[in-house]
Amino acid sequence: MNVIEVQNLRKEFNSYSSRPGLAGAFRDLFTRNYKVHAAVDNISLTVKQGEMVGYIGENGAGKSTTIKMLTGILTPTSGSIIVNGMNPHKQREEFVRTIGVVFGQRSQLWWDIAVQESFRLLKKVYRVSDEDYNHHMGHVIETLEIGPLLNKPVRKLSLGQRMRCELAAALIHNPPLLFLDEPTIGLDVLVKLKIRKFLKEINEQYKTTILLTTHDLTDIEALCERVVLLDEGKIIYDGKLNQLQAHAVEGKQIEFEFLSEIPRTSLPGSDNIQWEQKDATTWLGYINGDEQMVSQLISDVVQRNPIKNVRINEVSTEEIVRKIYEEGLALT
Amino acid sequence: MSMYLEMIRVRFLMMLAYRTNYYSGILIYSINIGAYYFLWSAIYGGKEEIQGLSVAQMTTYVAVAWMARAFYYNNIDREIAAEIKDGKVAIEMIRPYSYLGMKTMQALGEGIFRLLFFSVPGMIIVALTFPVSFDASLTTWMFFFVSLIFSFIVNTHINLLTGMMTFFLFNNTGLIRAKRVVIDLFSGLLLPISFYPDWAQGLMSYLPFQAISYVPSMIFTEGFVGQEIYNALLLQAFWVFILLIPIRLTWILAKKHLIVQGG
């Protein structure tokens, strides 16, 4: 079953540019230079129930705009959106009962009052019965370890504490679909791990579909099987994370640590190998080829030189994404 | 319905979170009433009455007008403006309720809070200090409360409209300030409408502002009697409904206009 179905979605913004100088400022009073800019440019996307999808891209790639359209905040310029079987914009009140949203950069809790008062209000807003609330939220509060925070006003919470409360608040009505817009921004490792573990748990327990945007690719590695990569409003990759790793960067990096200092000349040279010296006794070899070439290289090097340690490095997702944005992606 | 009641409760909690505001508020209102009391006693001098109002009626008028203001006055225009500016309206759009309805409920929560914990204790202080008469009949009290509810709705309508203008103006602190002065002046809070020159009275009768303060105060001080009361209440009700039209239209336009700023 498809939870999200998006066809040829497009969102344009009118932006105006200021002319330079005082004369330009006066001209701007009467006419302005408008430019149409497509923040989201004809994207199509389907997400099945129970999937955890990582939605990544540079700043300004159109991630947040997409999320805002999917949640019914913005109307698309063209294209169709069906989420949970509804049109988010037309059936707003009915639709928003079926989703949970966390905006990492914006608080949705009431600033001046205790967290539990916000929860109580949301419970009424989403018409959650006492029974469901106690059962479901009891578990959420326990897992996120926010029990002791409930009677504190939101303004007195630290960022990590607040974010865990925000997440709990988004789950009060136990929505089948959860949008997380940079939920781990500015959080320390422990809180991040806690949140990831929790998201995995609700995904397994309730088959909650999760769409996640983040700049921290370790989030994606830990949670998502599928990634959607966005660049300048267009989807440039949609598929499994491990395939992205396999395709995007060809070859491997091998780190040789020798017992003594080794000159470049005593290392095997070929067109497919590039050498880089890390420190006096350590060399990094970049190989453009498959596993067999890797084995070949290692045996060549080891035969000639006394070796202390050899390590084959996996290329991190971060490395891949950096490479994609800098060099473009040639995927088949 | 219960979520709207819950919102009123939350607003109570928010008001209680800032106690200093609460205490200073009582003080400021008492000082205002005192200042206007002395001003009006000086203006009346030895005169029995001006424009059909006696000194005692005038004092009561001032006290009641300010205490009514505590109920109908609220800051939702500024709040809406702030929420539009920092993009919080977007988050309100993902909630299954009407944003404007929720704002009105917050205003009502604030109003009831101030009426109970602000006006009532304030009135007791004022009644002990100044010669104010609260011996109005039961029916007058009843008419007064009906009128007070109307004045709350009219004022809230105007606040919603002013707040929503931020969608189009992006920064409307000036407009909000101007609106506050206009309401204080044209609603009859500072000066009863009957004291204005005829041409100004004529002009004001076409504006919604006198439905905010003049009507409830005049009903309480028995400046309106018999048929006049019903006419005044009808006028208020008229504005309550008429103002719904621009609110709906502005909201529809505003939603189209919604550009979430930042992020």
Query: Tens digit of pLDDT for each residue in B151-171?
Result: 999 999 999 999 998 888 878
Domain-embedded: residue B84: yes
The one-letter amino acid at B116: L
Q: Are B3 and A124 in contact (CB under 8 A)?
A: yes
CB-based contact, A64 to chain B, within 8 Å: yes
Nearest by CB to B263, from A13, A64, A93: name it: A64
- Please state whether B226 falls in left (phi above 0), alpha (psi between -120 and 50) or beta: left
- Report how far apart, in Å, the C-alpha atoms of B204 and of each of B200, B233, B241 are: 6, 16, 18
Pairing of strands A52-57, A226-231: parallel
Domain-embedded: residue B198: yes
Domain-embedded: residue B115: yes
Q: Are A104 and A98 in contact (CB under 8 A)?
A: no
Complete DSSP assignment for A96-132: HTTEEEEETTS--S-TTSBHHHHHHHHHHHTT--HHH
Size of interface A-B (CB pairs under 8 A): 69
Average pLDDT over residues B172-197: 88
* Angle in degrees, 0-180, between the axes of helices B138-164 and B173-186, rounded to the nearest 10: 160
Nearest by CB to A153, from B17, B258, B263: name it: B17
B97–A93: do the CB atoms touch at under 8 Å?
Answer: yes
**Nearest chain A Cα to B256, which residue?**
A75
**Mutation site, A124, A129, A173, interface B, largest B CB count within 10 A:** A124
Domain-embedded: residue B55: yes
Strand partners, A55: A213, A228
CA distance B208 to A203: 55
Longest CA–CA span in chain A (Å) reads: 77
The pair of structure tokens assigned to B57 is 């009626």
Confidence of residue B78 (pLDDT cuts 50, 70, 90): very high
Sequence length of chain B is: 263
B3–A124: do the CB atoms touch at under 8 Å?
Answer: yes
ipTM of the prediction? 0.81
Q: What pLDDT is attached to residue A251?
A: 62
Percentage, residues of chain B above pLDDT 90: 27
The pair of structure tokens assigned to A106 is 């914006």
**To the nearest whole angstrom, how far is the Cα of A231 from the nearest Cα of chain B?**
16
Domain-embedded: residue B94: yes
**Nearest chain B Cα to A115, which residue?**
B10
Q: What pLDDT is attached to residue B262?
A: 41
Closest CA to B6 of B105, B122, B116, B128: B105
Which three-class secondary structure string do you get for A181-243?
A: ECCCCCCCHHHHHHHHHHHHHHHHHHCCEEEEECCCHHHHHHHCCEEEEEECCEEEEEEEHHH
**To the nearest whole angstrom, how far is the Cα of A84 from the nearest Cα of chain B?**
15
Q: Which domains does chain A have, with CATH numbers?
A: 2-246 (3.40.50.300), 250-314 (3.30.70)
- Report how far apart, in Å, the C-alpha atoms of A211 and of each of A71, A178, A316, B61 are: 11, 6, 22, 60
Q: What pLDDT is attached to residue A49?
A: 92
CB-based contact, B19 to chain A, within 8 Å: no
A117–B91: do the CB atoms touch at under 8 Å?
Answer: no
CB-based contact, A125 to chain B, within 8 Å: yes
Average pLDDT over residues B196-201: 89
Query: HSE-up of A7 (CA within 13 Å, CB side)?
Result: 5
B96–A124: do the CB atoms touch at under 8 Å?
Answer: no
Q: Are B83 and B172 in contact (CB under 8 A)?
A: no
Q: Where are the alpha helices (DSSP H) in B73-171?
A: 76-85, 88-92, 99-114, 120-129, 138-164, 166-169
CB-based contact, B47 to chain A, within 8 Å: no
Nearest by CB to A71, from B94, B96, B97: name it: B94
Q: What pLDDT is attached to residue A329?
A: 55
Strand partners, A53: A211, A226
CA distance A320 to A329: 10
Average pLDDT over residues B134-140: 82
Measure the CA angle with vertex A167, ends A177 and A89; round to 5°: 40
CA distance B29 to B37: 12
Reading chain A (332 residues) residue by residue, the pLDDT tens digits are: 789 999 999 988 877 777 888 888 888 888 877 788 888 889 999 999 999 999 988 888 888 889 988 998 888 888 999 999 999 888 888 999 999 999 888 888 888 889 999 999 999 999 999 999 998 899 899 988 999 999 999 989 998 899 999 999 999 999 999 999 888 888 888 889 989 999 999 999 999 999 999 888 888 888 888 989 888 888 888 888 877 766 655 567 788 888 888 887 778 877 777 788 888 888 888 777 677 788 888 888 888 888 888 888 766 667 777 777 776 655 43
CB-based contact, A86 to chain B, within 8 Å: no
**To the nearest whole angstrom, how far is the Cα of A3 from the nearest Cα of chain B?**
18
B13–A105: do the CB atoms touch at under 8 Å?
Answer: no
* Total tally of structural domains belonging to chain B: 1
Query: HSE-up of B94 (CA within 13 Å, CB side)?
Result: 24
Q: What pLDDT is attached to residue A232?
A: 84
Percentage, residues of chain B above pLDDT 70: 98
Q: What pLDDT is attached to residue B263?
A: 39
**Nearest chain A Cα to B88, which residue?**
A106
**To the nearest whole angstrom, how far is the Cα of A124 from the nearest Cα of chain B?**
5
Tokens 């609603």, residue located? B187
Q: What pLDDT is attached to residue A332?
A: 39
Q: Comparing A280-294, B102-116, B202-216, which segment has the lowest mean pLDDT?
A: A280-294
Domain-embedded: residue B262: no
CA distance B160 to A66: 30
Quick count: other Cβ atoms within 10 Å of Cβ A13? 14
**To the nearest whole angstrom, how far is the Cα of A111 from the nearest Cα of chain B?**
9
* List of chain B residues whose C-beta atoms are within 8 Å of the C-beta of residue A106: 87-88, 90-91, 263
Q: Are A237 and A244 in contact (CB under 8 A)?
A: yes
Q: What pLDDT is attached to residue A19?
A: 82
CB-based contact, A16 to chain B, within 8 Å: no
Domain that residue B7 falls in: 2-257
The pLDDT tens digits for B37-56 are 888 889 888 888 888 788 88
**To the nearest whole angstrom, how far is the Cα of B197 from the nearest Cα of chain A?**
40
**To the nearest whole angstrom, how far is the Cα of B70 from the nearest Cα of chain A?**
22
A125–B10: do the CB atoms touch at under 8 Å?
Answer: no
* List of chain B residues whose C-beta atoms are within 8 Å of the C-beta of residue A105: 263
Closest CA to A170 of A107, A81, A216, A224: A107
The pLDDT tens digits for B231-253 are 999 999 999 999 999 999 999 88
B117 has pLDDT over 70:
yes
The one-letter amino acid at A172: I
A121–B263: do the CB atoms touch at under 8 Å?
Answer: no
Domain-embedded: residue B263: no
Q: What pLDDT is attached to residue B150?
A: 94
CB-based contact, A153 to chain B, within 8 Å: yes
Domain-embedded: residue B221: yes
* Angle in degrees, 0-180, between the axes of helices B138-164 and B99-114, rounded to the nearest 10: 140
Positive or negative: CA dihedral B134, B138, B141, B143: negative
Non-local CB neighbours of A77 within 8 Å, separated by 6+ positions? A10, A11, A12, A38
